[in-house]
Structure 1
């Protein structure tokens, strides 16, 4: 036998309990932030955004002709400082019981430098100076300059971006661990790895991404070099 459900609406109004009316309360609106507090918050937010941007990108002005004909004196570049973010994972691995992690093992979070990348870095002999060069050789590779041609592991590089072939021979030399071999595009007017040695990766500031001033020839995204 089915049960019956009685809704409350079926009750008589006389059966409902009587209640006294409750007076409405006036609620005052929350006070607005003061003008100076809003100004202070805006200033603090602006400062935080500025420092965050500075940790990711930074403008640089080129001084010198070592990267001609592609980059010129007083040209302004935007450099991506996060492009080559890296750290040694071995110290962390050594914290795991039973794990033997000898030496160093660098992990590039967003991928490491590629051959042909244009990088800005601290000059190894004077970190107060920033240099700009092109990445040519990686750890373990044999680098040589012979008859104006750059060879990596005995294979010639086709470099359409250089101003003119190098007049001075170099090497052969094997790039040590933790370093890069870098050259200027103006091979006969550049102080680079041929003169002061290999570039420690920890000296790299970032990757040249955009040439934004002056407008005109050479303005825009820095093209990545391709090798046949």
Structure 2
């Protein structure tokens, strides 16, 4: 009987340690998220399951074109792409992103922009000054984010700049559905 009790105690220890490790990994390193809506098309589709790396921004800062998850409200997280970094001026004119007056290519939307019918817009012209807050430069501790589906995305153009401390992490891996499996770009 004592051997059976030791075996049960051993199993309980394994389960408790495994649960603590899983909770620690999810809390501090990685967390899953499901894309809800079309705002990141064509890069991410509604229903894609992703792994978010929470460690990247604990030891570093967001970089241009990172796909990030952030707390948009107390109850809702959004997933968008970082376009503007602290200290930069951002504007769009004639489907071209300008960072501090220099054009910057966006390869992840090139196909959509080049396939537009004449007179159509994928990203309507705007400047940082026209956005909520009316900033001339992005302040320290903030980033400007846009969805890849510029015609159907609630992003910095509407909600303003995003505090870096509200970023959960970087979405790096699509794991479901299997045909979409791979790194985000």
TM-score range (shorter-chain normalised) is 0.7 to 0.9
Aligned-pair CA distance for 1:168: 2.0
Aligned-pair CA distance for 1:167: 4.3
**Further displaced range: 172-181 or 72-81:** 172-181
Structure 1 residues 113 and 214: CA distance shift in structure 2, 3 A: same
1:41 equivalent in alignment to 2:8? no
Aligned to 2:106: 159
Aligned to 1:148: 95
1:64 equivalent in alignment to 2:37? yes
Structure with the bigger RCO (C-alpha within 8 Å, sep 6+) is: 2
Choose the corresponding residue for 2:63, options 108, 111, 114.
Answer: 114
Structure 1: how far apart are the matches of 2:104 and 2:148?
13
The CA RMSD measured in Å over matched residues stands at 1.6
Structure 1: how far apart are the matches of 2:92 and 2:139?
17
Give the SS at the match of 1:58.
strand
Structure 1: how far apart are the matches of 2:79 and 2:57?
15
Give the conservation status (yes or no) of the 8 Å contact 1:57–1:81: yes
Give the SS at the match of 2:57.
coil
Highest Rg: 1 or 2? 1
Give the conservation status (yes or no) of the 8 Å contact 1:146–1:170: yes
Aligned-pair CA distance for 1:140: 1.1
Choose the corresponding residue for 1:200, options 149, 156, 163.
Answer: 163
Aligned to 2:23: 51
Question: Equivalent residues in 2 for 1:85-100 (5 A)?
Answer: 85=58
Give the conservation status (yes or no) of the 8 Å contact 2:92–2:123: no
Give the SS at the match of 1:34.
helix
Structure 1 residues 67 and 77: CA distance shift in structure 2, 3 A: same
Structure 1: which 4+ aligned runs deviate by more than 6 Å? none
The number of residue pairs the alignment matches comes to: 166
Structure 1 residues 37 and 141: CA distance shift in structure 2, 3 A: same
Give the conservation status (yes or no) of the 8 Å contact 2:43–2:184: no
Higher-helix-fraction structure = 2
Give the SS at the match of 2:178.
coil
Question: Equivalent residues in 2 for 1:11-30 (5 A)?
Answer: none
Structure 1: how far apart are the matches of 2:139 and 2:100?
14
Structure 1 residues 64 and 199: CA distance shift in structure 2, 3 A: same
